[in-house]
Chain A
Amino acid sequence: MPAVSKGDGMRGLAVFISDIRNCKSKEAEIKRINKELANIRSKFKGDKALDGYSKKKYVCKLLFIFLLGHDIDFGHMEAVNLLSSNKYTEKQIGYLFISVLVNSNSELIRLINNAIKNDLASRNPTFMCLALHCIANVGSREMGEAFAADIPRILVAGDSMDSVKQSAALCLLRLYKASPDLVPMGEWTARVVHLLNDQHMGVVTAAVSLITCLCKKNPDDFKTCISLAVSRLSRIVSSASTDLQDYTYYFVPAPWLSVKLLRLLQCYPPPEDAAVKGRLVESLETVLNKAQEPPKSKKVQHSNAKNAILFETISLIIHYDSEPNLLVRACNQLGQFLQHRETNLRYLALESMCTLASSEFSHEAVKTHIDTVINALKTERDVSVRQRAADLLYAMCDRSNAKQIVSEMLRYLETADYAIREEIVLKVAILAEKYAVDYSWYVDTILNLIRIAGDYVSEEVWYRVLQIVTNRDDVQGYAAKTVFEALQAPACHENMVKVGGYILGEFGNLIAGDPRSSPPVQFSLLHSKFHLCSVATRALLLSTYIKFINLFPETKATIQGVLRAGSQLRNADVELQQRAVEYLTLSSVASTDVLATVLEEMPPFPERESSILAKLKRKKGPGAASALDDGRRDASSSDINGAVEPTPSTVSTPSPSADLLGLRAAPPPAAAPAPASAGNLLVDVFSDGPAAQPSLGPTPEEAFLSELEPPAPESPMALLADPAPAADPGPEDIGPPVPEADELLNKFVCKNNGVLFENQLLQIGVKSEFRQNLGRMYLFYGNKTSVQFQNFLPTVVHPGDLQTQLAVQTKRVAAQVDGGAQVQQVLNIECLRDFLTPPLLSVRFRYGGAPQSLTLKLPVTINKFFQPTEMAAQDFFQRWKQLSLPLQEAQKIFKANHPMDAEVTKAKLLGFGSALLDNVDPNPENFVGAGIIQTKALQVGCLLRLEPNAQAQMYRLTLRTSKESVSRHLCELLAQQF
């Protein structure tokens, strides 16, 4: 006899279902359903009280109608009546209806909770189980509030039936998952751990699930579960295939429980107790050994169950990452699976190997499977499996196989599913950059990416190639030649035009010698694409054109002609029109020298982590981020390959020309009014100034030209002397600088750009420029996590007298920084008089609820306001003698901390700010410099002399200035640099 009595069903229900099945059309079906709904509604509303059977029948019909895809908005009350009944079958269907058609009506919930309360107290195990099921299936907060305290009691009560314990454990787990705060930890936790010893395997399985979840929050409370889990596991894996009777599944003893136990152990590090650890390792080895034994059954269920345990065992081995012997065995086992005829096993093997690849013990072993994985990428019929193969190739990539892997992934990209193309593009871009040995290969790879999958190449990717080309002068010529060739294609992707336009605008001169790529040819090639491009690209090309005027004066007339055309000067797009107007005027008004300065080649970008990586992490979600974190395996590579950060303008506007102007525009002519009609280009530049909110003002040309004038120190900068925003905390509010603050500051004495600070959460980059007594600094705060920072508040503080010596004006930044995102803060700095201590930068924010704060020294030192002074030997000696008072001189003799290289020393001295004077010192080994420190109140003339002694590896540094404190301070600052 079947366990389900099929005969005793409800006739009305069967008739209704048959009716529905006999409907010839969708319309007929809907008509029949509506008729039935009307019937049920009237029955429920009718005066005649329905008996339990009828209610059951109607509720069942409603469930069926719901399954067919019709919303049911009534019947809940009848269901509650049913579940409050004393009859089992009525109670059962009532609970089922409520669990399937959850309703958040609070009155209803109150009634349901009442009935549940009664059933839990009934001591009837069947009723208790139904009630527990309902709580678990609904899992709402209201139910949690009502029952979270009772369930632990039921779970550990000595007289609870096994089935009740099982249900109670999972019910508690569900409530904990939904609202952890509602489940109080208490003395019951210890007793839950002991359920691992329970006789009933079902209870153990449920308890393991519960503990696995609870112990993640409170690992110490549940620590004792490790030894219990190990002994349970060991008993199962060493038992014969028939020992566990009912829990043996196709000759595999208790596979489900084994998997759960192995998962639980992955919540903890390897057991500390040697005996426990020994027993565990033995069990893991047994599982690995069994994998090699002949199968006990040909059924797929047998191998599935066996392999479920095997894969979980391998996960645990990878999690421990401490037993090289087991790791290699695991890798070999996965290697076998890579070629298995079962697709499922190939899929899982690829997935597991991906995590294995990041272990240093097994990375090499994983690499030996490269051909198999590449083959999988090419031949697997299943996209799920191909994607795993692509992930694994990414994970196993290193310098030795990068070229092969990148070229295979590029090939795959041509046929890859659309859904995963962008991810593959990001991965290729990252690998190509990270493992590039020669940069021409890198450039080729990225251009290939654009060619093959241009639509999927995001801004991050093409910005990045530009940054790298800009920073590496050895590849610029090659890049120019390659983009020139790529642009020859009749239909090339717009992203190619962008990259090509930018690179030719910067480095087109490097290939101009070849008549095949002479300036006019370059220009007409680019201009042939112009009309097919979007506004953003056309704006970029206009900037390229103005750069061409500077690079190739012979193109000036042609380009001016283009700019002057009505389609440009009167373009409906304000950005394009403005660029055309400004560039045209610039090219006709400015002298060659000014033009050369304004349109100078872009300076190198400061180094920082790739923004592409952040993007990939965002795409993959937090879980995958760690797997993608590459630092572990190849920590040095990012240094070697000179990671660079995006320019400030790639953060705000993606137009290289805004950048070009932005960088030239230091210090900010704050009073220069921005035209109200200006597009992003100028607003971006001007709005950095503090008072740039004028209304209709001068025409764009005038604004642009005033930008080019050297700043008049008095007028605009008076504004900057205003006190910093009121929100600035006093020095007492902020913590002491981080221990490495001085060291970090020292790095910036001779340079203006770079990474100021970096920890696991945050990276702070600096870009700054100084002229006379003014400076502008861009701070880039990068959120390295995938979680949003909240209440993000960076402030600048002036300790002690600094307030009167230095004025720093900051702009507020957004209070939220998204995971992986970067925000920029602009600081305008004015040096009022000489100062000794740098301002402090305090950064506070909340990360995952926890407040974080950090104080750094802002890299503003007195030497930043150096103005180099050239002078002849005679003048130098004369002034040197004038500054001969003992207090005016500071001298230091110190040991070299770095190799003594004359070129490096020169660069450092120039970076320090002084002019280097040749042919002054009779000893050519010595360095002599001169400059003036510019402050608002006074100017301090400085002379310096550095005498290296290569034999002794020592230096002698002498500084003479007109002010004692300045001499000493400069001497200290500079002495630390060598």
Chain B
Amino acid sequence: MIQAILVFNNHGKPRLVRFYQRFPEEIQQQIVRETFHLVLKRDDNICNFLEGGSLIGGSDYKLIYRHYATLYFVFCVDSSESELGILDLIQVFVETLDKCFENVCELDLIFHMDKVHYILQEVVMGGMVLETNMNEIVAQMEAQNRLEKSENFPMTLHLSTR
């Protein structure tokens, strides 16, 4: 089971935080900070798995992470998950983000936090892997988009920030 999914940038600023086990808010922040310090000091070409996140779970848990440009994607999982499988899942998630946002960048995650959550919900549900087929996920997001359109926003202003 996946206990938590953390995305933060190279400076440790959280960009997406999703816990599937209940922790008080301050512990959540502490976990994010601790995890950031653990992965920050690691070179890019060493192993993507590490133990020792003392705040979540203990010895049965591993942090599996990937570093993309300015962002770290970290999944905290227990031993029932395949390590390489989770690495693949991170890749699926990122590629899906990329398809949905067309060349995703950190700013997309900041300004469209809700959308990022919705995409993640199509991949992981309650800590379990829901769907790994990218086309299926993108199709779901397109369907959501159509629903959103049909509900007619009271305001439709374009953002200039990108």
B82 touches A312 (CB 8 A): yes
Whether, in the assembled complex, B10 has its beta carbon less than 8 Å from a beta carbon of chain A, the answer is no
A14 touches B161 (CB 8 A): yes
Task: Note all chain B residues with C-beta closer than 8 A to A17.
Answer: 110-111
Task: Note all chain A residues with C-beta closer than 8 A to B132.
Answer: 202, 205, 247, 249, 256
Whether, in the assembled complex, A206 has its beta carbon less than 8 Å from a beta carbon of chain B, the answer is yes
B131 touches A166 (CB 8 A): yes
Whether, in the assembled complex, A92 has its beta carbon less than 8 Å from a beta carbon of chain B, the answer is yes
Q: How many A-B residue pairs have CB under 8 A?
A: 213
Which of B29, B32, B50, B133 has most A Cβ within 10 Å? B133
Chain A interface, DSSP helix/strand/loop, else mixed: helix
**Which among B88, B101, B121, B128 is the interface contact of A174 at CB below 8 angstroms?**
B128
Whether, in the assembled complex, A304 has its beta carbon less than 8 Å from a beta carbon of chain B, the answer is yes
Instruction: Encode contact with B along A373-412: 1 for CB under 8 Å, 0 otherwise.
Output: 0000000011111010000000000000000000000000
State whether A2 and B101 are in contact (beta carbons under 8 Å apart), knowing that A348-B84, A384-B49 are contacts in the complex.
yes
Task: Note all chain A residues with C-beta closer than 8 A to B159.
Answer: 6-7, 9, 11, 14
A344 touches B49 (CB 8 A): yes
Whether, in the assembled complex, A369 has its beta carbon less than 8 Å from a beta carbon of chain B, the answer is no
**Which among A4, A174, A623 is the interface contact of B145 at CB below 8 angstroms?**
A4
B128 touches A4 (CB 8 A): no
Whether, in the assembled complex, A910 has its beta carbon less than 8 Å from a beta carbon of chain B, the answer is no
Which of A89, A139, A167, A247 has most B Cβ within 10 Å? A89
Q: How far is the CB of B31 from chain A (nearest CB, A)?
A: 11
Interface residues on B, range: 35 or more
A136 touches B79 (CB 8 A): no
Q: How far, in angstroms, from A621 to B80 measured CA to CA in the complex?
A: 16
**Which among A139, A263, A384 is the interface contact of B47 at CB below 8 angstroms?**
A384
Task: Note all chain A residues with C-beta closer than 8 A to B68.
Answer: none
Whether, in the assembled complex, A370 has its beta carbon less than 8 Å from a beta carbon of chain B, the answer is no
A4 touches B101 (CB 8 A): yes
Whether, in the assembled complex, B1 has its beta carbon less than 8 Å from a beta carbon of chain A, the answer is yes
What is the chain B residue whose CB lies nearest that of A624? B59
Q: Which residues in window 299-354 of A have CB below 8 A to B?
A: 301, 304-305, 307-308, 311-312, 343-344, 346-348
Which of B48, B108, B141 has most A Cβ within 10 Å? B48
Q: How far is the CB of B47 from chain A (nearest CB, A)?
A: 4
Whether, in the assembled complex, B34 has its beta carbon less than 8 Å from a beta carbon of chain A, the answer is no
Q: How far, in angstroms, from A202 to B48 measured CA to CA in the complex?
A: 27
What is the chain B residue whose CB lies nearest that of A620? B59
Q: How far, in angstroms, from A88 to B32 measured CA to CA in the complex?
A: 32
**Which among A100, A163, A305, A419 is the interface contact of B18 at CB below 8 angstroms?**
A100
A308 touches B85 (CB 8 A): yes
Q: Which residues in window 1-58 of B have CB below 8 A to A?
A: 1, 14-18, 20, 22, 25-26, 29, 32, 42-43, 45-52, 58
Chain B interface, DSSP helix/strand/loop, else mixed: mixed
State whether A89 and B151 are in contact (beta carbons under 8 Å apart), knowing that A3-B145, A624-B59 are contacts in the complex.
yes
**Which among B83, B117, B136, B142 is the interface contact of A202 at CB below 8 angstroms?**
B136
Task: Note all chain B residues with C-beta closer than 8 A to A384.
Answer: 47, 49-51
Q: Which residues in window 104-129 of A have CB below 8 A to B?
A: 126
Q: How many residues of A contact B (CB 8 A)?
A: 84
Q: How far is the CB of B87 from chain A (nearest CB, A)?
A: 6
Instruction: Encode contact with B along A175-217: 1 for CB under 8 Å, 0 otherwise.
Output: 0010000000000000000000000011001100100100000
What is the chain B residue whose CB lies nearest that of A249? B88
Q: How far is the CB of A779 from chain B (nearest CB, A)?
A: 33
Whether, in the assembled complex, A426 has its beta carbon less than 8 Å from a beta carbon of chain B, the answer is no
Q: How far is the CB of B18 from chain A (nearest CB, A)?
A: 7
State whether A96 and B118 are in contact (beta carbons under 8 Å apart), knowing that A308-B88, A621-B58 are contacts in the complex.
yes
Task: Note all chain A residues with C-beta closer than 8 A to B131.
Answer: 166, 202, 205
Q: Which residues in window 102-136 of B have CB below 8 A to A?
A: 102, 108, 110-115, 117-119, 121, 125-136
Whether, in the assembled complex, A170 has its beta carbon less than 8 Å from a beta carbon of chain B, the answer is yes
Closest 7 CB pairs of A and B: A136-B126, A308-B84, A174-B126, A343-B47, A3-B141, A382-B46, A3-B100
Which residues on A are within 8 Å of B, measured CB to CB?
2-11, 14, 17-18, 21, 51, 53, 60, 63-64, 66-69, 71-72, 87-89, 92-93, 96, 100, 102, 126, 132-133, 135-137, 139, 163, 166-167, 170-171, 173-174, 177, 201-202, 205-206, 209, 212, 246-247, 249, 255-256, 259, 263, 301, 304-305, 307-308, 311-312, 343-344, 346-348, 381-385, 387, 419, 620-621, 623-624
For the A-B complex with A51-B154, A96-B117 known, give 9 more contacts whose Cβ atoms are closer than 8 Å: A4-B101, A7-B156, A8-B156, A18-B161, A88-B151, A100-B117, A132-B125, A202-B132, A308-B87
